[in-house]
Structure 1
Amino acid sequence: MLTYSFEHLEGESLYEHLYRCIRGDILAGRLRAGEKLPSKRSLARQLGISVITVEGAYGQLVAEGYCQSVPKKGFFVVRVMGVPQESLRKAEPAAEREAPRPRYFADFTANSLPPADFPFKTWTRLLRQVIAGQPEALLERSPGMGILSLRATIAGHLRSFRGLDVTPGQIVIGAGTEYLYGLLVQLLGRGKCFGVENPGYDKIRKVYHRHGVDCVPVDMEEEGISLPDLQAKAVDVLHISPSHHFPTGCITPISRRYELLGWASAAPGRYIIEDDYDSEFRLTGRPIPTMMGIDVSGRVIYMNTFSKTLTPTIRISYMVLPERLVRDFEEKLGFYSCTVSNFEQYTLARFIQDGYFEKHINRMRNSYRKRREALLKAMKAGGLLTRADILERGSGLHFLLRFHTKKSDEQLEQDFAAHGIRMRPLHDYYAGKAPAADHIFVLNYSGMEASVLPEAIARITACLDA
């Protein structure tokens, strides 16, 4: 006898619920191959539902091959090949739940933006204007490189604020830098060897490895990438962040930049990917000029993102190709659709054109400067500066702290976590050995509220004193 409950359907139709129940019994082996199902009328009477509901469920089971209808005899279960009998729980879709994330009192690894810092009212108003004023354009297929108005706006922004004289035709829009890395792998070729900074942002290494290319770490020095180590390795494409290296904060001086450009032009097929990470939030002095701005041989590919300046959840990034690569990109990858919606592209274009982006950057610089001052004040008041040294090298929205302790970095990281503090040691950003990185941790304060800083510092200090 088939007995099923029809309570708590949560919007699911009766026939679909019945179909899922019977299918589950078949996959679990409770209904065996060749077994006859109850007639439509008897099952409807037994379950208190309509014959039409049972007919719909049986029809779906027959259509998918779980049952067969034999004229004048009824419905029979069909043998489902390749499905183990104990697979009921696997066969029935479980309620999807987001994996629980560890909750920390203070997470010094996050790049999150507090809701109060995002210009919701302005963004919403511009989005409404776009929907009302450009309905046809919103529903058109976006060109693979992105809509022209946004690319033209970005070109103007780069000209004004980064000194880059580029055309909209050189700019490619994509949903996040990771997606653009994948396009570059396809454009430049999987036979190339990609070099990345060591230490460096570990996700970059992972992305290149997952795209199946040879990726090697290149050691960093005080002045940036080590030329001897670069020349010792068969690197074809070098991925660097010369204006603000993460996590050390190192800025590559002009002499080393010209040396790297010389390396790139010394052999055919060599390129430099200039990742202009976090350049908008240099809190002292003027922004550092780009390498692409001094490149005369067309070997630099410039990349940047709005995920850091606006919010990580707005996945809009872009790259600027040297003119020598534009035609190759159009021929090889022009068939791709742009991965950013027209709604977001047109809204961002207006956000920049109307001056809101510049105002937002200036406001966020002031906000981060105050947050930095509050952190330094809390560190001094809480006694942390007697237990750690700040390694300050223009590191932007994070500090490097060298703790005075005999504990291993692993033990210290565990102690921090036990006290509700998340912080990563510098050696996590190295591929292989991490010389002179012991007891140095990366403390990112961009997403921290000033109100939690005193208690957070007190907990860090307690771990060091224990």
Structure 2
Amino acid sequence: MITYSFENIRSEFLYEHLYRCLREDIQCGKLRPGERLPSKRTFATHLGISTITVENAYSQLLTEGYIYSRPKRGYYVADITSCIFPRPRSVPKPVQGEESPPVWFADFTSNQIQTDMFPFATWTRVLRETLADEQSRLMKPVPARGCLTLRQAVSGHLQRFRGMYASPSQIVIGAGTEYLYSLIVRLLGTRHIICLEDPGYAKVRRIYESNGMTCRYAPLDDGGISMDALRQLHASIAHISPSHHFPTGRVMPIARRYELLGWANETEGRYIIEDDYDSEFRFTGKPVPTLFSIDAGGKVIYMNTFSKTLTPTIRISYMVLPPELVQPFQESLGFLSCTVSNFEQYTLARFINDGYFEKHLNRMRTYYRKKRDLLIHTLKKSALAGKADIIEQCAGLHFLLRFHTSLDDICLKERFQKQGLHLAALSGYYHEPHPDASHTYLINYSSLESKKIPEAIERLCQAVLSES
């Protein structure tokens, strides 16, 4: 009779071990087609195990087709001689884990927020309340545009803080702006030529191109995107960040905004994608009105995210469609599932409606303003005073720093790295080389600890001003 050892089988269930032993003997031909297997009771007694263990092993083999049964006659080995079993592969070498990112003393490229600035206690309390009060709605599917409760909350927030009047039906919730960009392409079609600002965020171009869109680039002048270049490129969509351009920080004046809206209204099918990614952080005066709020022709698609105000890891963004695109969106993309979980949507909606988001924003504005002021004050008092220009617009979470030096950007980068500093050169954001971009770097301070600022600036001075 067939015999197997049940010693040293570790954490494997007995029936799994028996199943594997029988399967291997069938595959290698030790148990031949048509051969009758021992009865469950006899086999169990012989192996010193329970009948149910044998029954479970036989059941799994029967399900997978390795054996078959005959009523009142027992189990038999199936004919699998026509099957080709792959040869055992050699043991692969252990896969190397992803390289750990370098640890910088100061990372001026990171847009992460410090852990202690996220309102964990409030968010946890709101989440518990949501789980207790919204159980029935949490388990129901939501429309492609997102749950109505969150869209209503976003609509109210935009009206109070951005002067935008948009109905919840115009708002689309998505897991990050990258996903929403792809929805825009699917909605408008790939026949369009989209014009991007130069310099700009390279990832935006990659997203559009990966979705089949043709991208072209228009340089900036003092008013923002060049209208002459925009017209010459024959684009039908313009992607811009007028309230705080990335990476230059420029703010588009009202005259250029109306000029841009005029361009969009000249021809049917033209649209403007307004990326308002960090408009909440303006430290002097009121926020600059959005293009969407002054658009009478329904040509602006507004984009924003909670990544800058809460945390990038929450991955909740939204766009506001012009009224004329609401029905086409529903007809062509309404079958999609919303990419943000119900739990997060209802929690964020309550966080906004109960006033916690406004309090958090006020706290973050104060925090970032103090940090920015400390950073700029420290720069002005350092050895870089008179040897570097600070270019900023009192808005957003970064500014530009242009060094008066003959060193090229490659040499400066090496010096920064030796000092434990990570900086991104403005020249890296241009599609076409730009001579005025050299020696200019982005200073993103959102993740920089205030206590590190004095030493970070001292290291910056050493990197730029030291002779060797």
Q: Shorter-chain TM-score: which interval? A: 0.7 to 0.9
Q: What is the DSSP-based 3-state SS (H/G/I as helix, E as strand, rest coil) of the residue aligned with 1:384? A: coil
Q: AA paired with 1:433? A: P
Q: For residue 168 of structure 1, what is the aligned residue in structure 2?
A: 168
Q: For residue 343 of structure 1, what is the aligned residue in structure 2?
A: 343
Q: For residue 180 of structure 2, what is the aligned residue in structure 1?
A: 180
Q: AA paired with 1:259? A: E
Q: TM-score, normalised by structure 2?
A: 0.85
What is the distance in 2 between the residues matched to 1:22 and 1:450? 66
Q: For residue 143 of structure 1, what is the aligned residue in structure 2?
A: 143
What is the distance in 2 between the residues matched to 1:310 and 1:246? 19
What are the equivalent positions in structure 2 for 1:251-330 lying under 5 Å apart?
251-330=251-330
Instruction: Quote the offset at 1:373 in angstroms.
Output: 2.1
Instruction: Quote the offset at 1:122 in angstroms.
Output: 1.1
Q: AA paired with 2:351? A: F
Q: AA paired with 2:103? A: R
Q: 8 Å contact 1:34–1:79 — kept in the other structure?
A: no
What is the distance in 2 between the residues matched to 1:451 and 1:294? 42
What is the distance in 1 between the residues matched to 2:415 and 2:57? 56
Q: What is the DSSP-based 3-state SS (H/G/I as helix, E as strand, rest coil) of the residue aligned with 1:337? A: coil
Q: AA paired with 1:216? A: R
Q: Return the index of the structure with the highest Cα Rg.
A: 2
Q: AA paired with 2:218? A: V
What is the distance in 2 between the residues matched to 1:54 and 1:95? 38
* Bigger Cα displacement from structure 2, 328-337 vs 423-432: 423-432
Q: For residue 226 of structure 1, what is the aligned residue in structure 2?
A: 226
Instruction: Quote the offset at 1:452 in angstroms.
Output: 1.6
Q: 8 Å contact 1:247–1:395 — kept in the other structure?
A: no
Instruction: Quote the offset at 1:310 in angstroms.
Output: 0.8
Instruction: Quote the offset at 1:76 in angstroms.
Output: 8.6
Q: 8 Å contact 1:248–1:395 — kept in the other structure?
A: no
Q: For residue 389 of structure 1, what is the aligned residue in structure 2?
A: 389
Instruction: Quote the offset at 1:73 in angstroms.
Output: 7.6
Q: 8 Å contact 2:108–2:445 — kept in the other structure?
A: yes
Over residues 343-375 of structure 1, what are the superposed CA-to-partner deviations in whole Å (9 max), with x where a residue is unaligned? 111111111111111111111011001111221
Instruction: Quote the offset at 1:325 in angstroms.
Output: 0.5
Q: For residue 111 of structure 1, what is the aligned residue in structure 2?
A: 111
Q: What is the DSSP-based 3-state SS (H/G/I as helix, E as strand, rest coil) of the residue aligned with 1:164? A: coil
Q: AA paired with 1:345? A: Q
- What value does the CA root-mean-square deviation take over the aligned residues? 3.6
Q: AA paired with 2:283? A: L
What is the distance in 2 between the residues matched to 1:356 and 1:269? 40
Q: For residue 438 of structure 2, what is the aligned residue in structure 1?
A: 438
Q: 8 Å contact 1:240–1:275 — kept in the other structure?
A: yes
Alignment partner for residue 92 of structure 2, among 85, 89, 94? 89
Instruction: Quote the offset at 1:376 in angstroms.
Output: 2.3
Where does structure 2 lack aligned partners over 5 or more consecutive residues?
70-74
Instruction: Quote the offset at 1:99 in angstroms.
Output: 4.5
Q: What is the DSSP-based 3-state SS (H/G/I as helix, E as strand, rest coil) of the residue aligned with 1:303? A: strand
Over residues 58-80 of structure 1, what are the superposed CA-to-partner deviations in whole Å (9 max), with x where a residue is unaligned? 98789779x88998789999865
Over residues 2-23 of structure 1, what are the superposed CA-to-partner deviations in whole Å (9 max), with x where a residue is unaligned? 999766x6xx767779999999
What is the distance in 1 between the residues matched to 2:50 and 2:150? 56
Q: AA paired with 1:89? A: P
Q: AA paired with 2:133? A: G
Q: For residue 159 of structure 1, what is the aligned residue in structure 2?
A: 159
Instruction: Quote the offset at 1:149 in angstroms.
Output: 1.5
Q: AA paired with 1:186? A: R
Instruction: Quote the offset at 1:380 in angstroms.
Output: 3.9
Q: 8 Å contact 1:423–1:443 — kept in the other structure?
A: yes
Q: For residue 120 of structure 1, what is the aligned residue in structure 2?
A: 120
What is the distance in 2 between the residues matched to 1:229 and 1:89? 55
Q: What is the DSSP-based 3-state SS (H/G/I as helix, E as strand, rest coil) of the residue aligned with 2:280? A: helix
Count of matched residue pairs: 450
What is the distance in 2 between the residues matched to 1:351 and 1:167? 20
Q: 8 Å contact 1:424–1:441 — kept in the other structure?
A: yes
Over residues 325-355 of structure 1, what are the superposed CA-to-partner deviations in whole Å (9 max), with x where a residue is unaligned? 1110010000011111111111111111111
Q: 8 Å contact 2:6–2:14 — kept in the other structure?
A: no
Q: 8 Å contact 1:249–1:394 — kept in the other structure?
A: no
Q: For residue 452 of structure 1, what is the aligned residue in structure 2?
A: 452
Measured at CA, do residues 49 and 398 of structure 1 come closer, stay the same or move farther in structure 2, by a change above 3 Å? farther
* Bigger Cα displacement from structure 2, 431-440 vs 443-452: 431-440
Over residues 292-315 of structure 1, what are the superposed CA-to-partner deviations in whole Å (9 max), with x where a residue is unaligned? 111111111111111111111111
Instruction: Quote the offset at 1:290 in angstroms.
Output: 0.7
Q: For residue 429 of structure 1, what is the aligned residue in structure 2?
A: 429
* Bigger Cα displacement from structure 2, 388-397 vs 429-438: 388-397
What are the equivalent positions in structure 2 for 1:357-436 lying under 5 Å apart?
357-436=357-436
Q: AA paired with 2:295? A: D
Q: 8 Å contact 1:37–1:76 — kept in the other structure?
A: no
Measured at CA, do residues 444 and 51 of structure 1 come closer, stay the same or move farther in structure 2, by a change above 3 Å? farther
What is the distance in 1 between the residues matched to 2:49 and 2:99? 37
Q: For residue 239 of structure 2, what is the aligned residue in structure 1?
A: 239
Where does structure 1 lack aligned partners over 5 or more consecutive residues?
none
Measured at CA, do residues 447 and 53 of structure 1 come closer, stay the same or move farther in structure 2, by a change above 3 Å? farther
Identical positions, percent: 52
Q: AA paired with 1:101? A: P
Over residues 81-104 of structure 1, what are the superposed CA-to-partner deviations in whole Å (9 max), with x where a residue is unaligned? 7x68655428xxx78955522222
Q: TM-score, normalised by structure 1?
A: 0.85
